[in-house]
Amino acid sequence: MKHYILALDQGTTSSRAILFDHDGHVAHCVAQEFPQHFPQPGWVEHDADDIWSSQLAVAQAVLRDAHVRPEQVRAIGIANQRETTVLWERATGRPVAPAIVWQDRRTADHCDALRAAGHADFIRERTGLELDAYFSATKLAWLLDHVPGARERAERGELCFGTVDSWLAYRLCGAHVTDVSNASRTMLFNIHLMRWDADLLALFRIPDALLPDVVSSSGEIGATHADLFGAPIPVAGIAGDQQAATFGQACHRAGMVKNTYGTGCFMLMHAGAQPAVSHQRLLSTVGWRVHTGECYLLEGSVFMGGATVQWLRDGLGIIKASSDVEPLAASVPDSGGVMLVPAFVGLGAPHWDPYARGTIVGLTRGSTAAHIARAAVEAIAYQSAELLGAMQRDAAQPVVEVRADGGAARNDLLMQFQADLLGVPVLRPRVTETTALGAAYLAGLAVRFWASEEEIAAQWQCERRFEPAMPEGRRAELLARWSRAVERAKSWEAPL
């Protein structure tokens, strides 16, 4: 009887379930989009029940469609959109409010007040994070202050807080847990002591009764309720999506770098067994904890990657499907001088400007939809080039290659332009579902489906290598032009 690992890849715009065999190959995949809610400018919400129902539906469908029985699934691994904040009733499992998504900027003023009070350095020292509305702490504080009765109920232990991994684990098997990688994204977790930080909880007025137990990224936390799949299946791996992708890309040694091109773009470098200190406003975050110990990563975050292409589709209507963007962008030799800065929800690293807004500059009477599409694709690469530049300045050694994954990594035009801007090769693996694959590997290690990280690394294969071909002078010219465009987008919605 053939056995598999089931990976649940719960993303910002869709839920996916993927079965992996022992060779790390995709046996079957099912995906389902779910609704996005934008109740006010800068607000982004999900219905937590939509997250759960869509994730359960695809998990059940992938087993059904692949004719795989639950006893053939050795374990389940979870990878999840990070920082998104869910608050639910402990007794019933019902959410008490919409989930506040990582992109949401409603708490920017709270962050401003904390910064003005001098707390930014303290927060960075304890958590490795920049003081920003991106992370969970101010989102949770907002819910406690704005949902009627929430703070009192939280203090009585009636409510649970969690990021999406916690929410799924609770619904799957009743465990209120999070792993070290997700905990490190809440701005409440001390990455040096590897535990919730009492001083941070006091600063953000978070009752500790709300918090999940922190567990390793690889290890059994429980078994699914029997009625979900027809028999219990162990849940044995959890990691935030970007940490999972880094693990799935076999970036297991210090200095290795991957970049994920998903809803956002996330570049991570393996920093070794100790937290890295960034002087470029990058994040120091926990990568994962396995039986051999934990590792740390250096991370740069871009808020709008593939979501920029979705905006072309849903907002402007100039493409019918996201896959249409590559032929449209390739129909012109360049962007015609158009620059699109997709700061729709502010700018992430290295700028950290919650008040920046989307900007298009360089338009002329000759500008067409194709030029805008080209500028949108190139914007993804420009933002990632900024991250690698910051990472190179922080790192002790030069980056020699970048491993790419995520949906937009299938765009050859983007990958070549990215290599040109970075000045280093971009490698696309045969299996681009590396977020799900990383979750599968973490779960599989826990149940000995795979014996070691070395066995996992041996499975990584390059499908295509994109070599930089742009002259250095042209690269410098384009990056300077991009910087000018970014300056025009910054602080647009800043309080006067």
Q: What is the DSSP letter of 182?
A: H
Judge whether 246 is annotated as a binding position. Answer: no
Query: Is residue 353 a contact partner of residue 490, using CB atoms and an 8 Å limit?
Result: yes
Judge whether 103 is annotated as a binding position. Answer: no
Query: Is residue 51 a contact partner of residue 80, using CB atoms and an 8 Å limit?
Result: no
Query: What is each CA distance from 148 to 93, 98, 202, in whole angstroms?
Result: 18, 13, 21
Judge whether 472 is annotated as a binding position. Answer: no
Classified as helix, coil or strand, 253 is coil
pLDDT attached to residue 494: 82
Spatial distance between the Cα atoms of 247 and 185, rounded to a whole number of angstroms? 17
Judge whether 306 is annotated as a binding position. Answer: yes
Spatial distance between the Cα atoms of 403 and 251, rounded to a whole number of angstroms? 9
Spatial distance between the Cα atoms of 234 and 221, rounded to a whole number of angstroms? 8
Query: Is residue 99 a contact partner of residue 68, using CB atoms and an 8 Å limit?
Result: no
Judge whether 13 is annotated as a binding position. Answer: yes
Before 350, cis peptide (omega within 30)? yes
DSSP 41-98: TT--EE-HHHHHHHHHHHHHHHHHHTT--GGGEEEEEEEE-SS-BEEEETTT--BSSP
Judge whether 397 is annotated as a binding position. Answer: no
Judge whether 263 is annotated as a binding position. Answer: yes
Spatial distance between the Cα atoms of 451 and 317, rounded to a whole number of angstroms? 48
pLDDT attached to residue 326: 92
CA count, 13 A, side-chain hemisphere, 378: 28
Extended beta strands in 408-461, E state: 426-429
**What's the pLDDT tens digit per position in 125-168?**
999 998 989 899 999 999 999 999 999 999 999 999 999 999 99
Judge whether 324 is annotated as a binding position. Answer: no
Judge whether 227 is annotated as a binding position. Answer: no
The structural domains of the chain, ordered by start, are: 4-241 (3.30.420.40)
Judge whether 134 is annotated as a binding position. Answer: yes
Judge whether 224 is annotated as a binding position. Answer: no
Judge whether 253 is annotated as a binding position. Answer: no
Per-residue pLDDT of the chain (496 residues; tens, 9 = 90+): 899 999 999 999 899 999 999 999 999 999 999 999 999 988 999 999 999 999 999 999 999 999 999 999 999 999 999 999 999 999 999 999 999 999 898 999 999 999 999 999 999 999 999 898 989 999 999 999 999 999 999 999 999 999 999 999 999 999 999 999 999 999 999 999 999 999 999 999 999 999 999 999 999 999 999 999 999 999 999 999 999 999 999 999 888 999 999 888 999 999 888 898 888 889 999 999 998 889 999 999 888 888 899 999 999 999 999 889 999 999 999 999 999 999 998 998 889 898 899 999 999 999 999 999 999 999 999 999 999 988 888 876 788 899 999 888 999 999 999 999 999 999 999 988 899 999 999 999 999 999 999 999 999 999 999 999 999 999 999 999 999 999 999 999 888 7
Spatial distance between the Cα atoms of 181 and 435, rounded to a whole number of angstroms? 14
pLDDT attached to residue 328: 95
Q: Comparing C-alpha atoms, which of 90, 85, 83, 210 is closest to residue 151?
A: 210
User: What are the residues whose beta carbons fall under 8 Å from the beta carbon of 237, sequence distance 6 or more?
Assistant: 75, 76, 77, 78, 217, 218, 219, 439, 440, 441, 442, 443, 444, 445, 446
**What string of H, E and C letters represents the secondary structure of 279-324?**
CCCCEEEEEEEECCEEEEEEEEEECCCHHHHHHHHHHHCCCCCHHH
The residues that bridge with 288 in the sheet, in sequence order, are: 295
